[in-house]
Structure 1
Amino acid sequence: MRHDQNTALEVRTSAAAVAAPMLLVPFALLAALVVGRWAPLHDLDRSVSDRWHDIAHANPGWVDALTWMTHLLSPTAWRLAVLGLVIWLARRGARPVAFWATITMIAGGVLGAVLKLLVSRHRPEFLEPVAQASGYAFPSGHALNAALGATVFLLVLLPMTRGRPLARAALWTGAIVLPLVTALTRVGLGVHWLSDVVAGLFLGVAVAVATAAAFSRRGVPEPVSG
């Protein structure tokens, strides 16, 4: 492996510039439907939440597993993981990419917090909840930060997997599965609606791709290749 200061991030500027708006479209649609209190979406959210709540109540072990996973994949855990990545990048001399990863996590976190306040959607309520969470619901901070962090790792590490199909497949699998598992834990514990976590996933990926496109225009290099 060697430093590569002559190539752009794995996702090319043009592709990222197209992908970011495409990812923002479903998020914006969900946000509009939530704010507009569209009945079919509300009914779907309630149906899914009620079903998962019944499953959780009937399976205490399932609740324990979901609780463990939701803590393991919390926003704080993702931020610490990316911090470790940033330190590794900085030590390898890839400071522009380290800066991009830092700004991306901060921007996504701030955007999610602001949107929660703007939308002010209440979380699901049950007579006998299996878990509690504070703050507003939309978008899910857990899902957003999981998608954000996973995409950062994917964009940074993907160049290292050239010519290594198994490693590339494992990286893609982790980047997809971990955010989905994170989202599942939030709905399964009854602290988020389905549309909250779906919106968080789309927004997290969109923010990471958008910042990658913006930084690529400034010539941000790949950190490593292999």
Structure 2
Amino acid sequence: MDTSTGATVAHRSWRSRRLDPERSLGLRLTLTVVAAFLVLVPFTLLALLVLGAWPPLLRLDASIAGSFHGYARDHPAWVGLMTVWTHVCGPGPLRVAAVVVVVWLVRRGAPRLAVWVVVTMVAGGLLGALLKLLVGRDRPDLLDPVARAAGYSFPSGHALNATLAAGVLLLVFLPFVRYSGRARVALWTAALLVTVVTGLSRIALGVHWTSDVVGGWVLGVAVVASTSAAFTTWRSGSGRPSAHPLREGVEPELADQRPEGGRA
């Protein structure tokens, strides 16, 4: 076989390893990279627009902030509701909830899944804090504000951490509802509700621009997608059955396991 033929065979061999369904590890690694790239593209674009102070984005942010602020000043009960929500679903309480889940997973005999939860929450939180410093965007400066917050604005830490926590809890508990359509819908609805309303509460209180919240949502989805894809890739590489995270969670066997000391 000549050199050109050998090169062609090697090229086809690399492609087959990346895209061949029978080689699930190579396929999943490729899909992980592609998925992470596709999710991070809109976040990167949004961050560049914020850094460049793109006038249309600034006008849209100001218009939405003004509308929410006008409504908030005229409806104190709305402000009270949003204030309670933003505190209950803030980064602190959600991190405490994640720690509780980590302890529960360890006791249930799923330490690797517990590590995945920790890595996802910590990596996302640190990335968000770093980006706030790098972008250095100021928060809205409104007349007669209904709430105040410290620190930089982009991306929204509340929106980011709500997305991380909701994604983690969703993918951990999906195995317990995979045979019940209604329960699965309820779990998805709860995850979306926490994510969306927490982000909107920051706009409603006038402490974040809309693009801050959208940035937090997109970054949170990117982090959860990347770490869950890495976890499912590890499962395939270690000989475990393939999992479909959005239908049955990142570790479907979790629902069949028993806590330590429990009876099988």
TM-score where L is the length of structure 1? 0.91
Partner amino acid, structure 1, of 2:139: R
Runs of 4+ in 1 over 4 A off after TM superposition: 12-17
In the TM superposition, what are the counterparts of 1:90-169 in structure 2 within 5 Å? 90-169=106-185
Q: 1:120 to 1:202 in 2, by over 3 A?
A: same
SS for the counterpart of 1:209 is helix
| Residue in structure 2 matching 1:68, options 84, 87, 92 | 84
Q: 1:13 to 1:216 in 2, by over 3 A?
A: farther
SS for the counterpart of 2:254 is coil
- CA deviations on 1:63-109 (whole Å, 9 max, x unpaired) are 11110010011001110111111111111100000001001100000
SS for the counterpart of 1:138 is coil
In structure 1, the residue matched to 2:54 is 38
In structure 2, the residue matched to 1:3 is none
Partner amino acid, structure 2, of 1:156: V
In structure 1, the residue matched to 2:12 is none
Partner amino acid, structure 2, of 1:151: G
Partner amino acid, structure 2, of 1:225: A
> Rg: which structure is higher?
2
In structure 1, the residue matched to 2:103 is 87
SS for the counterpart of 1:126 is coil
User: Offset at 1:145?
Assistant: 0.2
Partner amino acid, structure 1, of 2:182: L
Q: 1:92 to 1:13 in 2, by over 3 A?
A: farther
Note if 1:225 corresponds to 2:255: yes
Partner amino acid, structure 2, of 1:196: D
- Cα separation, 1, equivalents of 2:226 and 2:150: 29
SS for the counterpart of 1:218 is helix
- Cα separation, 1, equivalents of 2:35 and 2:215: 16
User: Offset at 1:114?
Assistant: 0.2
Which gives a bigger RCO, structure 1 or 2 (Cα 8 Å, sep 6+)? 1
- Cα separation, 2, equivalents of 1:24 and 1:160: 30
Q: 1:165 to 1:16 in 2, by over 3 A?
A: farther
Gaps of 5+ in 1: 1-11
| Residue in structure 1 matching 2:70, options 48, 54, 57 | 54
Question: How many aligned positions are there?
Answer: 216
- CA deviations on 1:121-144 (whole Å, 9 max, x unpaired) are 000001211000000000000000
Gaps of 5+ in 2: 1-27, 241-250, 257-264
Partner amino acid, structure 2, of 1:164: S
- CA deviations on 1:136-178 (whole Å, 9 max, x unpaired) are 0000000000001100111111122121111110111111111
Name the Cα RMSD after superposition: 1.8
- Cα separation, 2, equivalents of 1:205 and 1:110: 15
Partner amino acid, structure 2, of 1:113: A
- Cα separation, 1, equivalents of 2:34 and 2:81: 38
| Residue in structure 2 matching 1:205, options 200, 205, 221 | 221
- Cα separation, 2, equivalents of 1:17 and 1:158: 24
Moved more, 15-24 or 86-95: 15-24
In structure 1, the residue matched to 2:212 is 196
Partner amino acid, structure 1, of 2:184: R
In structure 2, the residue matched to 1:23 is 39
